[in-house]
């Protein structure tokens, strides 16, 4: 039996956003029944080109369904540029982690998202690029290289867990080994750097910090705060209630809100008020 | 929540009578059966009684039964003994749908220089006998054909094959792990040379098995050591479990005679019929003509097996799947693939395997609660929506 986190089980048993948006702006379909999992993602944009709604249909195991559900939750409210930065690791982390052999479910989600965005932007299908390495699952050298680079993979088994390549007949194991050696040979010196938070992770943490730490304090004084946008390292917020008219609001903002966010999320973040 | 256990081809509940029979051998009767004193000797007597009971289940004589640690050990012992007895013969034959205990052993022997033949099956899971006979040569050392398949329950005509092998002078082994206790086995009426058994599939504990070796079959031990088991398997005996397996064999034999297995078959049929009637696009894998009384493999098209199992788990229902996701490998069951079951169905296959412990209420519960699970997963499936029109139009 797989060792799924409670969050995976919860998203599997109560998946969010199941379905298909009929007048969708972006649609991405990846996988196939033969492969054992497939995902059809659709999203709708609002007037500011932000994802206002996202829905999925998935054929696959519990972690594939949970990953799809997580993906739709993650991308809601994001601009397309922000959504482009969502990685498979973001999906896995949102779920509190996935068993290693199930990481390909998170990659499936990322691929569907990219396809849906490319569809909206009218970009040609990327899949045709590269040459097929794994015949069984139709995985190209570019897919494998990307998985190895982004996730720091070091073995053929890892590659199979993330993109399935090498999980069938095994004839391509030598080729996969060569790609791993090539990528790691050039990338090794960059590797020990601590992994910076992705934008998605930052946004999530900022939201959490606002909800849990900051709002309760401001509310005691009859004020409130709302996250409006996120631009690089600038956290744009709006103050409400008494805060919006308070003369000391800038002090509150910099000395309290920003300090808290820098402490709990990342030191490079700046908080600014927008009107 | 009540557990409804319909995964008896995976393992079974130890019968309380078996536990009772084993109990003294954990406490007061702890002697070593090989000892000269009567304290140990009485334990040796208990092993011999168990041997007679296991022999009786398959109509062998007690001297033809060797106790092992599991079905896999029995399989490995049989095949290695057969090739050791025929060192000049370098060809070994089995089927494409064997349990990994044989399949992977053959693949290993193949990588060590043996020529291997894996006999195919048709879409109903039935063995291609012509292919089998056409591929035998003077250099064939052993043929191993399972009695019944663990995933589909399909029974192979082992008596007929054994007779043919006898004529040709080829050693014939059968993996009888799934068949024993479910269908009558009579080794004297057939030309079977060796037959593997497992305790935990017949309500004995895990960790004990047996190998039938026809008197006169050339044999060499797999585990080399002391003179236990007549020099055919070294190692101090797992006494309590052997006694348990003896008791379980006795109970299984009486269930075959008193109609309990027919009762199991009726429940299985009711389950199968109930699910096929209440779930569209569901189909049975394998022929229903010649099948174990307790097993049904049903494919629910356009949904994935692991997801089905986990939703069933929420209802307390325990079963298995031939889907890729359940195994950790990326390929669905080699049995279903060998049968040519399409991917649309292989990934959504669920195996139900019953035992004499299952009740009518349990079957009714499954028939009532499974269809909504499948329907729910289908609403999430991108393939189901596309297919719904044509499926509904039938």
DSSP string across B302-358: TS-HHHHHHHHHHTTEE-EE--HHHHSSSS--HHHHHTT--HHHHTTEEEEE--TT-
pLDDT in tens, A71-123: 999 999 999 999 999 999 999 999 999 998 889 889 999 999 999 999 999 88
The C-alpha atoms of residue A39 and residue B329 are separated, in whole angstroms, by: 20
- Identify the DSSP state of B122: -
pLDDT of residue A45: 95
**pLDDT band for position A226 (cuts 50, 70, 90):** confident
pLDDT at B327: 59
Residues whose CB is less than 8 angstroms from the CB of residue B48 and which lie 6 or more positions away in sequence, other chains included: B62
- Helix and strand element counts for chain B (H, E): 15, 13
Strands (E), chain B: 4-5, 65-68, 91-95, 115-119, 140-144, 171-175, 194-198, 209-213, 282-284, 295-300, 317-318, 320-321, 349-353
Confidence bin at B5 (pLDDT 50/70/90): very high
> Which residues of chain B lie closer than 8 angstroms to A29, CB-CB?
382
User: Which tokens sit at A167?
Assistant: 């999980």
* B275 vs B360: CA distance, rounded Å: 14
Among the partner-chain residues B329, B380, B383, the one whose CB lies closest to the CB of A65 is B380
If DSSP codes are grouped into helix, strand and coil, which group holds residue B290? coil
Residue among B85, B136, B325, B364 flagged as catalytic: B325
The CA-based dihedral angle spanning residues A67, A73, A74, A75, taken in that order and rounded to the nearest 10 degrees: 110
DSSP 3-state of B280: coil
* Percentage of residues of chain A with pLDDT beyond 90: 37
DSSP state at residue B10: T
Domain ranges of chain B: 16-256, 259-385
Sheet (strand B91-95) strand order: B65-68, B209-213, B194-198, B171-175, B140-144, B91-95, B115-119
Contact B125, B284 (CB under 8 A): no
Chain B residues within an 8 Å CB radius of A12: 307, 310
pLDDT at A192: 44
The HSE-up count of residue A147 (CA atoms within 13 Å, CB side) is 30
CB spacing of B304 vs A13 below 8 angstroms: no
> Which tens digit of pLDDT belongs to each residue from B45-59?
999 999 999 999 999
- Give B-chain residues touching A64 at CB under 8 angstroms: 304, 307
Question: What's the confidence (pLDDT) of residue A125?
Answer: 65
Mean pLDDT to the nearest integer, A206-233: 83
Question: In whole angstroms, what is the distance from residue B9 CA to residue B177 CA?
Answer: 9
Question: DSSP 3-state assignment of B250?
Answer: helix
Q: Residue B367 pLDDT > 80, yes or no? A: yes
Q: Which residues contact A197 (CB under 8 A, 6 or more apart)?
A: A205, A265, A266
Pairing between β-strand A223-231 and β-strand A234-241 as defined by DSSP bridges: antiparallel
Rounded to 5 degrees, what are φ and ψ at B290?
Answer: -135, 95
Find out whether B208 and B47 touch, Cβ atoms under 8 Å: no
Q: What is the arithmetic mean of pLDDT over A7-13?
A: 95
Using the Cα atoms of residue A79, residue A84, residue A87 and residue A88 in order, give the sign of their dihedral.
positive
Question: What are the backbone dihedrals phi and psi of residue A208, each rounded to the nearest 5 degrees, phi first?
Answer: -60, -45
pLDDT greater than 60 at residue B187: yes
Q: Where in chain A is the domain with CATH 3.30.300.130?
A: 199-273
Cα B347 from Cα B341, distance rounded (Å): 10
Q: Which residues of A touch B310 (CB under 8 A)?
A: 9, 12, 62
B331 falls in which pLDDT band (50, 70, 90)? confident
Distance from CA of B274 to the nearest CA of A (A): 25
Q: Looking at the predicted structure, is the pLDDT value of residue A48 above 80?
A: yes
Task: Report the distance separating Cα A27 and Cα A25, nearest Å.
Answer: 7
pTM attached to this predicted model: 0.80
Q: Cβ contact (<8 Å) for B307 and A65?
A: yes
Average model confidence (pLDDT) for chain B? 94
CATH of domain B259-385: 3.90.1150.10
CATH superfamily of A199-273: Fe-S cluster assembly (FSCA) (3.30.300.130)
- Nearest C-alpha of chain A: how many angstroms from B5? 16
Q: How close does chain B come to A188, measured CA to CA in Å? A: 30
pLDDT tens digits along B128-171 = 999 999 999 999 999 999 999 999 999 999 999 999 999 999 99
So what's the ipTM on this one? Answer: 0.86
Task: Say whether B259-385 and B16-256 share the same fold.
Answer: no
Quote the percentage of chain B above a pLDDT of 70: 96
Whole-angstrom distance, CA of residue A142 vs CA of residue A176: 11
Residue that the structure tokens 């399949």 belong to = B103
CATH of domain A129-195: 1.10.10.1100
- Output helix, strand, coil percentages for chain B, rounded to the nearest 5: 45, 15, 40
Considering only CB atoms, which chain A residues are within 8 Å of B329?
167
The residue of chain B nearest to residue A38, with distances taken between CA atoms, is B382
- Decide: A133 and A141 in contact? Cβ < 8 Å: yes
Q: How many CB atoms lie within 10 A of CB B110?
A: 14
* Fold for the domain defined by B16-256: 3.40.640
CATH fold for the domain made of A1-122: Sufe protein. Chain: A (3.90.1010)
CB–CB of A137 and B330 under 8 A? Answer: yes
Nearest CA in chain B to A166: B330
Residue B70: active-site member: no
A:B CB pairs within 8 Å: 74
Q: Would you state the pLDDT for residue A272?
A: 86
Identify the DSSP state of A255. I
Q: Using the beta-carbon criterion (under 8 Å), do B306 and A61 form an inter-chain contact?
A: yes
Report pLDDT for B394: 30
Question: What is the model's pLDDT at position A124?
Answer: 72
Give the mean pLDDT of B293-301.
Answer: 96
pLDDT-derived band at A128 (thresholds 50, 70, 90) equals low
Residue B152 CB coordination number (10 Å): 30
The answer for residues whose C-beta is within 8 angstroms of residue A159's C-beta and 6 or more apart is A144, A147, A148, A153, A165, A166, A176, A179, A180
Structure tokens at A183: 């990528």
- Rounded mean pLDDT, A28-43: 89
Which helix (H) or strand (E) covers residue A56, if one does? strand A51-59
A2, A58, A62 member nearest B382 (Cβ): A58
């Amino acid at each position: 039996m797989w060792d799924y986190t409670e969050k995976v089980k919860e998203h599997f048993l109560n998946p969010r956003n199941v379905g298909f948006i009929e007048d969708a702006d972006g649609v991405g379909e990846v996988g196939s029944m033969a492969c054992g999992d497939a995902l059809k993602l659709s999203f709708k944009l609002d007037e500011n080109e932000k994802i206002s709604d996202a829905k999925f249909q998935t054929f696959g195991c519990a972690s594939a369904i949970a990953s799809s559900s997580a993906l739709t939750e993650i991308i809601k409210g994001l601009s397309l540029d922000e959504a482009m930065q969502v990685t498979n690791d973001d999906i896995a982390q949102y779920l509190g982690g996935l068993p290693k052999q199930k990481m390909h479910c998170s990659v499936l989600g990322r691929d569907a998202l990219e396809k849906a965005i490319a569809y909206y932007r009218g970009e040609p299908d990327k899949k045709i690029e590269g040459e097929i390495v794994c015949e069984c699952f139709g995985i190209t050298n570019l897919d494998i290289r990307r998985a190895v680079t982004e996730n720091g993979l070091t073995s053929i088994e890892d590659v199979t867990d993330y993109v399935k390549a090498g999980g069938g007949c095994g004839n391509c194991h030598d080729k996969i080994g060569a790609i791993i050696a090539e990528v790691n040979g050039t990338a090794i010196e960059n590797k020990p750097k601590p992994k910076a938070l992705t934008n998605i992770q930052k946004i999530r943490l900022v939201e959490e910090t606002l909800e849990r730490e900051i709002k309760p304090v401001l509310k005691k004084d009859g004020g409130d705060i709302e996250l409006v946008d996120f631009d690089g390292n600038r956290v744009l917020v709006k103050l409400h209630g008494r805060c919006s008219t308070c003369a000391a609001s800038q002090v509150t903002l910099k000395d309290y809100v920003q300090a808290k966010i820098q402490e709990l999320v990342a030191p490079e973040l700046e908080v600014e008020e927008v009107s | 929540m009540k557990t409804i256990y319909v995964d008896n081809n995976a393992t079974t509940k130890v019968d309380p009578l078996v536990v009772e029979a084993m109990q003294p051998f954990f406490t007061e009767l702890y002697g070593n059966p090989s000892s000269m004193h009567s304290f140990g000797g009485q334990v040796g007597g208990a092993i011999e009684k168990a041997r007679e009971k296991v022999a009786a289940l398959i109509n062998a004589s007690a001297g033809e039964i060797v106790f092992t640690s599991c079905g896999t050990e029995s399989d490995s012992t049989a095949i290695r003994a057969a090739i050791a007895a025929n060192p000049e013969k370098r060809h070994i034959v089995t089927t494409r749908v064997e349990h990994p205990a044989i399949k992977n052993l053959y693949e290993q022997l193949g990588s060590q220089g043996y020529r291997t033949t894996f006999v195919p099956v048709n879409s109903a899971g039935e063995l291609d006998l012509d292919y089998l006979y056409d591929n035998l040569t003077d250099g064939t050392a052993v043929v191993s054909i399972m009695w019944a398949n663990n995933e589909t329950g399909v029974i192979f005509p082992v008596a007929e094959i054994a007779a043919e092998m006898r004529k040709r002078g080829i050693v014939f082994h059968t993996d009888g792990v799934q068949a024993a206790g479910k269908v009558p086995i009579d080794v004297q009426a057939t030309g079977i040379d060796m037959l593997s058994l497992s305790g935990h599939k017949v309500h004995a504990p895990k960790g004990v098995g047996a190998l039938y070796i026809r008197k006169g079959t050339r044999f060499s031990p797999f585990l080399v050591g002391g003179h236990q088991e007549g020099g055919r398997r070294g190692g101090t005996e797992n006494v309590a479990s052997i006694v348990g397996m003896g008791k379980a064999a006795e109970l299984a034999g009486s269930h075959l005679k008193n109609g309990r297995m027919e009762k199991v078959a009726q429940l299985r049929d009711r389950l199968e019929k109930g699910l096929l009637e209440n779930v569209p696009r569901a189909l049975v894998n394998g022929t229903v003509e010649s099948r174990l009384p307790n097993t049904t493999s049903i494919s629910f098209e356009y949904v994935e097996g692991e997801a089905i199992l986990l939703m069933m788990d929420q209802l307390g229902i325990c079963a298995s799947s031939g889907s890729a996701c359940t195994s950790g490998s990326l390929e669905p069951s080699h049995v279903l693939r060998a049968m040519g079951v399409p991917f649309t169905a292989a990934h959504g296959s669920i195996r139900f395997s019953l035992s004499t412990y299952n009740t009518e209420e349990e079957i009714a519960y499954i028939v009532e609660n499974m269809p909504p699970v499948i329907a729910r997963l289908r609403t999430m499936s991108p393939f189901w929506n596309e297919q719904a029109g044509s499926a509904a139009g039938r």
